[in-house]
Amino acid sequence: MILRVLLLLTLFPLSAVSAPLPIPDQGPALRIQGSNTIGAALGPALVKGLMELQGLQGVHAEPAEGANEQRVIGKTRQGKTLTIEVDAHGSSTGFAALHKASADLAAASRPIKDSELVDLEPLGDLKSPEAEQVIAIDGLAIILNPRNPLNTLNTEQLAQIFNGEISTWEALGGIGGAIHLYARDDRSGTYDTFKDLVLSRRGKALAASAKRFESSEQLSDAVSQDPQGIGFIGLPYVRQAKAVAIVDGDSQPMLPLNSLIATEDYPLSRRLFFYLPPTTHNPWAKALVDFTQSSKGQAIVAANGFIAQRVQAISVEPRPSMPEDYQAIAREAQRLTVNFRFEEGSASLDNKARQDVQRVVAYIKGHGKLDKQVTLVGFGDIKNDPQRAALLSKLRAMAVRRELVKSGVVLRDIRGFGAQMPVAANTADEGRIKNRRVEVWVY
C-alpha cells in the first residue's frame, strides 16, 4: 500500500499545488470559461478542492451576475478574500474568452477546432501535451421518458430522428405518436459532440423543431416529463430520464456504463478538457490543472458523476462473437480500464495516451506485474487487405510496448486482431480513429 501511494505521488505530485499560491490584491485569482457540462458542477467542485488544499477557509460557491455563472470564494487565515470565477456558456465561449484575454483557462467538452487553434496561435500550441489536458471521460446518453418501451437505437436512427426524417415513435416500432426533440444550444460542447458523432457524419442537420437548452439539468428534466421526448445529455445529467443502448455500425449494443466509457468503447463517449495556454503566467491556472490530474482531483471527477482516469482491472465475459484467441485471453486475464489511442493518421500516442502510460505503469508496478504478466492487444479499422489490418494493429501495440519498456515492464505477449470487434462504424474518420486502439490485459 505504501508503495502504491508513493507511486501515485510520483505520478501526480501535489507539491506544485500545495505550495502557497499568491493572493491577488484585487480581482479574481482565476477566470474559467467554457463548457456547461464542466462548469455547472465539476469545475466549481475542482476549484473548491484546490482552494481547500491551499488552506482557504469557508470555501463556497455562489451565483454570479449572469445565468450559469458562479464565483467560488474563500478566505485566508488572515481574512483576505480570494475569488475564482467559473462561467459556463458552452465550449466555444471558452476559446473565444482566451482569444479576448477575458479567461485564463478554457473548459471544453470537445477538442479544440482547427479554426480556434489558429486564432489562439499567439498563446502557444494549444494541442501540445502541456496545454491540452484531458480531465475526465464522459458519455453522451440518449435519454427517453422512463415510460418509453424502446431500449436500443443505432446511430443511423439517431441521425434520422434528430434531423426530423423519423418523426413518430411508431416508425421505430414504439408507441406514442410524434417525437419531440430536445437538444443543447449551439455554443455547447455537448451539442458539438453530438453533431460530430451523429449528425455531420451522415450529412444531416438538427431539425429546427428541436427545443434548445443551455442548461443540461433543464433539458433532462424536460425529457423525463414528456412521454414523447428524446434528448442527448452528458452522463451525470440523466437524472430521472431513461438511457438507451447505442449501436454504431457493427458494434454491440452498448449502454453508457462506466467501464465502456472509461475505455471510450461506448459509441458516444467523449473527453472533457482543460486548455491551458502555454504562455499563461497565472499560477492558479497551472495549479488547478495539476490538482485535477492528481488522485484527489480525480476523486472529485468521480464524485460528480463523470468517469475518472483511474486504472482498474475488470473481468470480461467471453462471448461467441469474439475471436477464439481473444476469448482465451479473456478467460485467463483481466482488462484494464484504459485504451491507448493515437494521433489522427499517426502511430504516435495522443495526449491522453501519453498521460495513461504513466497511469498504467503505476498500476503494473503497484500490483507487482512487471515481469511477463501483461499482454497488449491491438485493433484497427478495415483495410483492403485483412493481413495488413492485422499487421497495423500489432504495430500499434508495439508502439505502446516501447513506452512501457522504458519503465521496466516486460510484456508477456503482443497480439493484433486487425479490424475485428469494432467499437464504432468504419464509415467516418471518428469511427476509424476509435477502432484504432490498444487494450491492456493483466494476468
**Model pLDDT for residues 345-362, shown as the tens digit of each residue:** 777 899 999 999 999 999
Length reported for the chain: 443
Q: Supply angle C-alpha 109, 133, 4, rounded to 5.
A: 120
**Model pLDDT for residues 388-406, shown as the tens digit of each residue:** 889 999 999 999 999 999 9
**Model pLDDT for residues 70-102, shown as the tens digit of each residue:** 999 999 999 999 999 999 999 999 999 999 999
180-184 and 211-213: which strand pairing? parallel
Overall average pLDDT of the 115-141 stretch? 97
For 362-386, letters b (16+ CB in 10 Å) and e give: bbbbbeebeeebbbbbbbbbbbeee
Overall average pLDDT of the 414-441 stretch? 91
- Where does 225-315 have alpha helices with state H? 258-262, 283-293, 295-303
DSSP character at residue 278 = T
Q: Strands (DSSP E) along 21-99, which ranges? A: 30-34, 57-63, 69-75, 81-88
Average pLDDT value over all residues in the chain: 93
Is residue 16 pLDDT above 60, yes or no? no
DSSP character at residue 428 = S
- pLDDT, position 2: 39
**Model pLDDT for residues 252-268, shown as the tens digit of each residue:** 999 999 999 999 999 99
- pLDDT, position 201: 87
Handedness of CA 264, 266, 267, 270 (dihedral sign): negative
- pLDDT, position 153: 97
Q: What is the pTM of this model?
A: 0.86
Q: Distance between CA atoms of 50 and 45, rounded to whole angstroms?
A: 9
At 217, the pLDDT band (50, 70, 90 cuts) reads: very high
- pLDDT, position 1: 43
- pLDDT, position 18: 62
Which residue has 491522453 as its cell numbers? 352
Instruction: Determine the distance from the C-alpha atom of residue 349 to the mean position of all C-alpha atoms in its chain, rounded to a whole number.
Output: 16
**Could you tell me which residues come within 8 angstroms of residue 182 by beta carbon, excluding any fewer than 6 positions away?**
210, 211, 213, 219, 222, 223, 226, 229, 230, 231
Overall average pLDDT of the 322-334 stretch? 97
* 3 state DSSP class of 424: coil
374-379 and 413-416: which strand pairing? parallel
Q: Distance between CA atoms of 430 and 413, rounded to whole angstroms?
A: 29
Residue type for position 212: R
- pLDDT, position 31: 98
At 13, the pLDDT band (50, 70, 90 cuts) reads: very low
Is residue 12 pLDDT above 80, yes or no? no
Q: Is 406 exposed, middle or buried (0-12, 13-18, 19+ CB in 10 A)?
A: exposed
Domains of the chain: 11-136+273-303 (3.40.190.10), 138-262 (3.40.190.10), 311-442 (3.30.1330.60)
- pLDDT, position 7: 41
81-88 and 30-34: which strand pairing? parallel
Is residue 3 pLDDT above 50, yes or no? no
- pLDDT, position 205: 97
**Could you tell me which residues come within 8 angstroms of residue 247 by beta carbon, excluding any fewer than 6 positions away?**
152, 153, 154, 155, 253, 254, 267
Rg (CA), the chain: 22
- pLDDT, position 98: 98
Q: Is 407 exposed, middle or buried (0-12, 13-18, 19+ CB in 10 A)?
A: middle
- pLDDT, position 382: 85
Q: Distance between CA atoms of 188 and 104, rounded to whole angstroms?
A: 19
**Model pLDDT for residues 260-306, shown as the tens digit of each residue:** 999 999 999 999 999 999 999 999 999 999 999 999 999 999 999 99
Q: Distance between CA atoms of 154 and 198, rounded to whole angstroms?
A: 10
Q: Is 58 exposed, middle or buried (0-12, 13-18, 19+ CB in 10 A)?
A: exposed
Is residue 19 pLDDT above 90, yes or no? no
For 14-48, letters b (16+ CB in 10 Å) and e give: beebbeebeeeeeebbbbbbbbbbbbbbbbbbbbb
More confident residue, 34 or 4: 34
